[in-house]
Amino acid sequence: MINLQNVSKVSWIKFSIVALIFVLWVIWIGNFWILLGLPFIFDIYITKIIPWGAWKKTKDGSKPPAWKEWLDALIFALIAVYLINIFFFQNYKIPTSSLEKSLLVGDHLFVSKMSYGPRMPNTPLSFPLVQNTFPIINTKSYFEKPHWEYKRLKGFGKVKRGDIVVFNFPAGDTVAFLRPNPAYFNIVREIGQSLAQRNGITSINSPFEEYLLRLKERSLGAEYVKQNPAEFGEVVGRPVDRRDNYVKRCVALPGDTFEIRYNQLFINGQLFREPDGVQHNYNILTDGTTLNKNFFERLDISDPERYSGLTGPYYSLPLTQAMVEKVKQMPFIEKLEISEEPVDTTRHQVFPYSKYFQWSRDNYGPVVIPQKGETVKLSPQNILLYERIIRNYEGNKLEIRNNQIYINDKPTDNYTFKMDYYFMMGDNRHNSADSRYWGFVPEDHIVGKPILVWLSLDQNKSFPKNIRWNRFFKYAGN
């Protein structure tokens, strides 16, 4: 019989604090079955019936070996990191220049899960600190079962237009292990188009025939990838929370009408005021002067090694508007104009890769961003725009039978969205793989908001010159 009167006040205080935090956490999560864990907390601090530390004890009562102490500390640390990563924040490293100058390659960020509300994991049994694959041994870092459905807890706010957002890559639902870039979706599409043309499978006489042709091309491409494992590796599917993390700027919210006209963004018909760090590629002609490394470093052009080997006089460089004004003042510059990709009616350049959407990188839309609860009229012309939402993101069966759209084996000409969607773009407009190429980002893919750069390393320089001291503890959310 446990005499509770012998329990110290300190133990009662510790239990009360931990129990309060635990109950509040359960209320936040909304799963009250977890309250069954409360008696165990009571036992840890008060009754101590269960011998929680028995595995560390020795038969003669001597001090446990060091390896048991280390293992105990390691297990505690991994559990703490796991919970922190799920509910509060995680680390993220910028791998590409798509957000230059806002965020630089080599920036290490703290990403806040609380900004938009943390997600309960789809794959709760996973190893912390790795996203989907153990390095070196190249095996999955998670178990696919149990699998939990999407649920987002309450956070401090919602995604706003202009926010920099970390999200799971939507087109990363299927991955060719040895060829993670470009996306598997684009790999099989491009290979399939080539094979279809080679086999004479190219005729399109109606919108539905275009859709069926796209399916045939993907099937051909997927079969080719499957038959060439030495080149592409194993093809694996990944749950939402185990898809690679991307970071881009949200330029359009659910319900917005988004459009790009001659490199300028318009939201609901109004010109979108972009951040000062937005870059476009500019075509430059010099009077014969070779632009050297000092030129690129003086302008703070990203990755100067990429351009300093060029001999000119023609150059294509990513420039902000401020950099453009500086270049205009240089006497050896004869011509400076923004690069613009015209619409090419002979090929499909951007998502949804359809002849009925004659868009390009620099002239895109208008397109209405899907919004939860809104119903869209489906047609033979727009089915390619919404098929990934219907099939891949919202889990429906989509078919075309006798020129009729079937969803879950029922004929229909409309669809009601189950989730909100977002349009994401990189600030380095002409050097970014973003929503223009793989489509909308579903709300269940949103991870969080970068809030702080805690470390920044320049990959083009050696230690210690590679440390960007001026970026330490810089706010990353702009």
Q: Is pLDDT above 80 for 477?
A: no
**Rounded Cα gap, residues 319 and 132, in angstroms:** 35
Q: Which two tokens stand for residue 465?
A: 């010159």
Residue 305 lies in a domain: yes
Tokens 């889990």 correspond to what residue? Answer: 395
Beta strands 245-252 and 270-271, pairing class: unpaired
Q: Which two tokens stand for residue 387?
A: 């098929």
Last residue of a domain, one of 288, 308, 338: 338
pLDDT of amino acid 302: 67
Q: For residue 300, give the DSSP letter.
A: T
Given pLDDT bands bounded at 50, 70 and 90, which one contains residue 300? Answer: confident
Catalytic residue among 248, 302, 432, 435: 248
**Rounded Cα gap, residues 26 and 143, in angstroms:** 24
Catalytic residue among 97, 98, 112, 354: 98
Q: Answer yes or no: are the C-beta atoms of 272 and 251 closer than 8 Å.
A: yes
| 98 is a catalytic site residue | yes
Tokens 């620099």 correspond to what residue? Answer: 362
- The winner for highest mean pLDDT among 92-101, 141-150, 169-178, 409-418 is 409-418
pLDDT of amino acid 416: 98
Residue 306 lies in a domain: yes
Residue 409 lies in a domain: no
How confident is the model over 330-345, as a mean pLDDT?
88
Given pLDDT bands bounded at 50, 70 and 90, which one contains residue 376? Answer: very high
Q: Is pLDDT above 60 for 277?
A: yes
149-191 pLDDT, tens digit per residue, is 999 999 999 999 999 999 999 999 999 988 888 889 889 999 9
Cα separation values, 144 from 90, 170, 216, 268, 328, Å: 21, 18, 30, 41, 56
**Rounded Cα gap, residues 393 and 391, in angstroms:** 6
Q: Is pLDDT above 60 for 1?
A: no
- 394 contacts: CB under 8 Å, gap ≥ 6: 417, 418, 419, 442
Residue 2 lies in a domain: yes
Q: Is pLDDT above 90 for 402?
A: no
Overall size of the chain counted in residues: 478
Q: Is pLDDT above 80 for 55?
A: no
Residue 229 lies in a domain: no
383-392 pLDDT, tens digit per residue, is 999 999 999 9
How confident is the model over 198-214, as a mean pLDDT?
82
Rounded to a whole number of angstroms, the CA Rg of the chain reads 27
Residue 117 lies in a domain: no
Look at residues 37, 374, 391, 435 and name the one whose alpha carbon lies nearest to residue 246.
Answer: 435
Last residue of a domain, one of 338, 363, 380: 338
2-17 pLDDT, tens digit per residue, is 667 777 888 889 999 9
Residue 29 lies in a domain: yes
Beta strands 333-338 and 314-319, pairing class: unpaired
How confident is the model over 227-234, as a mean pLDDT?
91
**Rounded Cα gap, residues 443 and 372, in angstroms:** 10
Given pLDDT bands bounded at 50, 70 and 90, which one contains residue 131? Answer: confident
Q: Which residues pair with 261 in a beta bridge?
A: 264
Residue 295 lies in a domain: yes
pLDDT of amino acid 306: 64
Cα separation values, 34 from 27, 42, 152, Å: 10, 14, 17
Given pLDDT bands bounded at 50, 70 and 90, which one contains residue 307? Answer: low
**Rounded Cα gap, residues 420 and 425, in angstroms:** 17
pLDDT of amino acid 310: 67
Range of the domain at 7: 1-52
Last residue of a domain, one of 32, 52, 72: 52
Q: Is pLDDT above 80 for 60?
A: no
Cα separation values, 338 from 10, 283, 405, 447, Å: 69, 6, 42, 34
Mean pLDDT of the chain: 89
Q: How far apart are the first and last CA of the chain?
A: 60
Look at residues 112, 87, 115, 90 and name the one whose alpha carbon lies nearest to residue 26.
Answer: 87
236-247 pLDDT, tens digit per residue, is 999 999 999 999
**Rounded Cα gap, residues 330 and 113, in angstroms:** 46
| 474 is a catalytic site residue | no
Query: How many domains does the chain contain in total?
Result: 2
Q: Name the residue with higher pLDDT: 309 or 244.
A: 244
Q: Is pLDDT above 70 for 294?
A: yes
How confident is the model over 284-313, as a mean pLDDT?
77
pLDDT of amino acid 109: 93
Q: Which residues pair with 266 in a beta bridge?
A: 259, 271
Given pLDDT bands bounded at 50, 70 and 90, which one contains residue 130? Answer: confident
